[in-house]
């Protein structure tokens, strides 16, 4: 039960998710995926969606107990399977114009005690079967959004010293603040924030850098950018003509790196929570875009398995810039949830690129996108490599060095 949570804050989150996040259009169907614990938020989202003129609101739920039942009781054959028919149905709905909303907030450590090999196999099976549903999202064909609900298990991980109900309330406050929901008009808050992000990405697009150079403790990296790369951030227009805010919260501007032009060393600045494992102190070395050396102080085996998922999983598909002064960074909270932790720090993502971060990318074939430098993979996993000790320079096509960030803050 979540009757101890602030109903007004949940309602404001739901309203912003519908009006600003997915920007639901009259007559448009909305598909929601969520954990059962997030039911109170899903119910409020349905209210605001129908007020906005939704055709149908269709939720699909997961449940922690059912997930664990599989790992504790299923035969070995179960872990190489995924419901392809379900993802095909989602893909058909998106192709038909439905909007997509995902509610984050699952227990990040739910699978911590399960066999990592089975976890990896199940994840790969979902990645393969889920392509029909993910492709319209990756190609930004429809308006979509992710927001978060303070599930009890997640809250207990973030604030382990508090009683669960107090932890949930505190996590809701943190989500509320990070999602810029305070003041008289949170919708206007997001319009102002998007305008600020647009100022940053416009400058970066005007520079049209050939590469970025990162320097900091354990980091000396030259990261080439894809041919025709486009910086994105804040609200963006999907191919159906609807401007949406895919992530709430968000503090990043991001683009497509060149999958074959990344060289040097990177040290992670924050832990990565991945499939029930907290991977700490990641350190890697890139050669010609591929990670050729990797280590971690904990979770190293899981990280190495991640790098071996497919040919593209040891290359990167996204690079994002986030100032160290972002509200999430300044909160000092480790959320064990990428939606939040990636917005506390500059980061890169292993795996699949976003077609929309290459000029005309949505109209390119997979091979044509690769020729531009875009990466293809079954995974897309962000990890953090920025701090107040990291500097970033832009390298122009003539070799000029232009300051982009100094000590984790914008230099322009």
pLDDT tens for 22-50 read: 999 999 999 999 999 999 999 999 999 99
Does 394 lie in the same domain as 261? yes
The structure's pTM equals 0.88
Asked whether residue 255 falls in the same domain as residue 119, the answer is: no
Query: What secondary structure, in 3-state letters, does 80-129 show?
Result: HCCCHHHHHHHHHHHHCCCEEEEEECCCCCCCCCCCHHHHHHHHHHHHHH
In a domain, 244, yes or no: no
Q: What is the pLDDT of residue 156?
A: 95
Q: In the prediction, which pLDDT does 275 show?
A: 86
Evaluate whether residue 303 is within a structural domain: yes
Residue 385 domain flag: yes
pLDDT of the residue at 363: 87
Residue 168 and residue 213 in one domain = no
Query: Do 168 and 215 belong to one domain?
Result: no
What does DSSP assign to residue 320? E
Please check whether residues 217 and 130 belong to one and the same domain: no
CATH number at residue 18: 3.40.1830.10
Residue-level length of the chain: 412
Q: Is 140 a member of any domain?
A: yes
Q: Is residue 100 domain-shared with residue 211, that is, in the same domain?
A: no
Q: What is the mean pLDDT of the chain?
A: 95
- Relative to beta strand 144-148, strand 99-104 is parallel
42 and 174 together in one domain: yes
pLDDT value at residue 63: 96
404 and 330 part of one domain: yes
Name the domain boundary from 163, 178, 193.
178
Query: CA 112 → CA 2, 115, 124, 282, 379, distances in Å?
Result: 25, 8, 17, 19, 20
Q: Quick one: 174 and 211 in the same domain?
A: no
Say if 185 falls within a structural domain: no
Same-domain check for residues 23 and 139: yes
Task: Classify 387 as helix, strand or coil.
Answer: coil
Q: Is residue 404 part of a domain?
A: yes
Q: Is residue 105 part of a domain?
A: yes
154 and 220 belong to one structural domain: no
Does residue 314 share a domain with residue 216?
Answer: yes
Is 151 a domain residue? yes
Residue 3's pLDDT is what? 72
E strands, 105-209, in order: 144-148
Spell out the per-residue pLDDT of the chain, length 412, in tens. 467 899 999 999 999 999 999 999 999 999 999 999 999 999 999 999 999 999 999 999 999 999 999 999 999 999 999 999 999 999 999 999 999 999 999 999 999 999 999 998 999 999 999 999 999 998 889 999 999 999 999 999 999 999 999 999 999 999 999 999 999 999 999 999 999 999 999 999 999 999 999 999 999 999 999 999 999 998 889 999 999 999 999 999 999 999 999 999 999 999 999 988 999 999 999 999 999 999 999 999 999 999 999 999 999 999 999 999 999 998 989 999 989 999 999 999 999 999 999 999 988 999 999 999 999 999 999 999 999 999 999 999 999 999 999 999 999 8
Residue range of the domain that includes 25 = 7-178
Domain boundary among 136, 162, 178: 178
Count of domains observed in the chain: 2
Tokens for 153?
């298990």
**Sheet-wide strand order for 30-35:** 57-62, 30-35, 99-104, 144-148
For residue 273, which of 345, 320, 338 has the smallest C-alpha distance?
A: 338
């Amino acid at each position: 039960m979540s009757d101890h949570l602030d109903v007004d804050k949940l309602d404001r989150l739901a309203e912003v998710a519908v009006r600003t996040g997915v920007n639901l259009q009259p007559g448009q169907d909305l598909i929601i995926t969520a954990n059962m614990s997030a039911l109170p938020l899903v119910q409020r989202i349905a209210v605001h969606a129908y007020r906005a003129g939704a055709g149908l609101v269709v939720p699909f739920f997961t449940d922690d107990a059912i997930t664990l039942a599989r790992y504790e009781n299923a035969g070995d054959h179960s872990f190489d399977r995924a419901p392809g028919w379900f993802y095909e149905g989602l893909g058909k709905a998106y192709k038909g114009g439905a909007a997509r909303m995902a509610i984050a907030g699952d227990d990040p450590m739910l699978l911590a005690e399960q066999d990592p090999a089975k976890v990896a196999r199940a994840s790969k099976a979902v990645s393969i079967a889920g392509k029909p549903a993910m492709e319209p999202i990756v190609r930004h064909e429809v308006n979509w959004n992710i927001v978060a609900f303070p599930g009890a298990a997640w809250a207990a991980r973030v604030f382990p010293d508090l009683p669960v109900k107090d932890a949930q309330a505190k996590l809701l406050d943190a989500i509320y603040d990070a999602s810029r929901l305070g003041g008289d008009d949170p919708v206007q808050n997001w319009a102002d924030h998007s305008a600020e992000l647009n100022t940053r990405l416009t400058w970066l697009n005007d520079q049209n850098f050939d590469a970025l150079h990162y320097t900091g403790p354990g980091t000396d990296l030259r990261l080439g950018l894809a041919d025709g790369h486009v910086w994105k951030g804040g609200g963006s227009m999907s191919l159906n003509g609807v401007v949406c805010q895919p992530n709430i919260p968000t503090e990043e501007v991001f683009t497509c790196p060149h999958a074959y032009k990344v060289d040097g060393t990177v040290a992670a600045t924050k832990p990565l929570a991945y499939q029930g494992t907290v991977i700490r102190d990641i350190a890697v070395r890139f050669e010609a875009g591929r990670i050729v050396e990797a280590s971690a102080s904990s979770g190293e085996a899981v990280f190495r398995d991640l790098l071996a998922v497919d040919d593209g999983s040891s290359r990167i598909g996204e690079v994002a810039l986030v100032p160290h002064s972002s509200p999430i960074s300044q909160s000092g909270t480790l959320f064990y949830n990428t939606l939040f932790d990636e917005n506390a720090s500059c980061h890169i993502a292993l795996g699949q690129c976003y077609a929309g971060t290459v000029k005309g990318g949505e109209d390119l074939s997979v091979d044509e996108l690769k020729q531009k430098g875009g990466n293809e993979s079954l995974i897309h996993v962000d990890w953090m490599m920025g701090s107040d000790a990291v500097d970033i320079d832009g390298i122009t096509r003539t070799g000029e060095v232009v300051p982009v960030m100094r000590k984790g803050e914008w230099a322009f």
